[in-house]
Structure 1
Amino acid sequence: MLRTAFVAVAVLVAGAGCGTADSTEPVAVAGRVITQTVTAPTSEPPAASPTPEPTPTETPKPKVAVPVTTTKSVVETSVIPFKKKTVTDSELPKGERTIRTTGVNGTRKSTYRITYVDGKQTAKTLVRQEVTKEPRSQITAVGTKVEEAEDSGGCDPNYSGCVPIASDVDCSGGSGNGPEYVDGPVTVTGSDIYRLDADHDGIGCE
């Protein structure tokens, strides 16, 4: 009887070791039934997965604007001022001026290459230049001719009538000592260089 009970307990214990969960089984020992709880071994909990390290985020670099360079060709027209020349003319009275040839301006065409960076002009280079119209010089003549004085016949032009031209002239019959004399009256038309008009009324040798 005791042997039978021992075998039963051994069988139950062996069976309990093969389970995966707790179980309660009646056990017969020496004519008694004993209830025991057999705890089955459980597997170890799975190891916790390591927390992944955060991947560093790169800050985007600001974009650098690339300057835009452009060029274009430009043609400009400019004025060439005419020159002035002066010549003498012996046929013109002295000091008189007259234009013989009228001056005319010329024109010049210039080609430039202009450089722009982002729409702003940064350089201007002369590529080609040509004269499209030659200027014409202006020529002015200046007279040099001296007019000869008309022969007055030996009479001084400062008086009407004929007062001789001399170093000094006095009125005839007066107190003057000449060397030349004139019969009056005479009219003073210019300067009374001989002082013939004593009372300054415009009449000399009255």
Structure 2
Amino acid sequence: MSNSQYETFGLTTTPYAPYAPYEPPYGPYESYENPEPYADGSPGSPPDGPVGPPGGSGDTYRPAYEEASADRTTQVSRATLLSQAPTEPQLPRQEYPQGPMVASTDPLDPVGAEAATAELRTGGRAQARRAARRAPRRRGVTERADPLRRLLPQALVVAFLAGGTSAFVASDKAVELTVDGKPRTLHTFADDVSELLRGEGVRVGPHDVVAPAPGTPLTSGDEVAVHYGRPVHLTLDGHRRRVWTTAATVDGALEQLGVRAEGAYLSASRSRPIGREGLALDVRTERTVTIMADGRARTIRTNAATVAEAVEEAGITLRDQDTTSVPSGSFPRDGQTVSVMRITGSREIREEAIPFEVTRTNDPSLFRGTEVVDRAGEPGTRRVLYLLRTVNGVKERPRRLGAEVVREPRTQVVRVGSKPRPASVKGADHLNWSGLAACESGGRPAAVDASGNYGGLYQFDTHTWRSLGGSGRPQDAPATEQTMRAKKLYVRRGATPWPHCGGRLHG
């Protein structure tokens, strides 16, 4: 008998060994007569469909596709289903009650096949047919191929439907999708994480986290988690920046950002949830600050926002003009030392002179180098307000706060000579004026005696100098002018103005 339940049977020429005597559990099989003739008109063909033992309650034939549809969950092709059909068990040999075995054309009956083969060799096809009609019929075993031919298309359809159902079941996956901490279990036909998110309408951006990563293949039982990013405007120890976090609470965001929150000041509760729109968060971590005041150092741990708050936490009070070495509104840094300066101060008003200006005009009636003051200048007066401070017992330089003019200064008016001086003085050019100058002043035009009354090369007094046409002081005039006026004096009075050194003029 063939191993496939879907093969058609035909006449074989290979002889089978005779069956051994067998007593069936339902008693001896009964022969039957079929009124329908064979295709060639001979009577006695076996009935269509499976035949069971007398008194049986069901079919003895179970198609292989029913077992395959019940046991298999994966798609099986028709060729695989046919090749993997279970092998039909061999029937035990049995003894026929009718007597000696006669040849049969039934392919399920080896004895009948052997007899038919023998008769074909001797008498031809007609004799073989008659021999087959004389062969005994065994209920439940002998069966024609026509019923199998009718069942084969049905089996193929059922197998195709069973394979399609298996493919449908295989592509369906049970996946747990968690979006922002809210899990749900769903069935999907998506092949990977990206396809699953698109199918569920979950949109992710560059700051969102998906685990496993988009594009990862999916299998049944996988877990996919989506954590949305949230913007946080974080001011950490005075530094403002914008960061992103996938944490749902302030505490989770601090942990994710690596911010040390122990002892820190937080502008929002640690349990406060963070929505998709984000939030502004001010964090001041605990720092060590040293305050120097009144000759004593105080070190504290603080999360103060300003230096003034840190000084107050150290138990130090600032009075009047007291201040700190760094701006009191600045942010205290970790390890920073702040000095408190005790300041006492007062204000003082001082009067100061305002210098006058000098206006000069040219006068052609005066020799060059000659200046005549027509109006003397007068200085003005102003009152100046100064701040006097003492810092930690040390006086500082006074600081000017303001000024007020009490009297305006008066401008001085001076005429300056522009007339060319004569090159010589008749009657005095031949004298030794350099010798006289060396004796009187050592040859220095700006020389002044100890009394302050005489000055210049020739030690003129102011009255004599001005009588000769000079202006100002003689020691301020050029050397050529001094010599020219000395010559004029000699013409008027001779050498008497220089009683000690006059003799040098002729030497």
TM-score range, shorter chain: 0.3 to 0.5
Q: Which has the higher helix share?
A: 2
**TM-score using structure 2 length:** 0.15
Structure with larger Rg: 1
Q: Which has the higher contact order (CA 8 A, sep 6+)?
A: 1
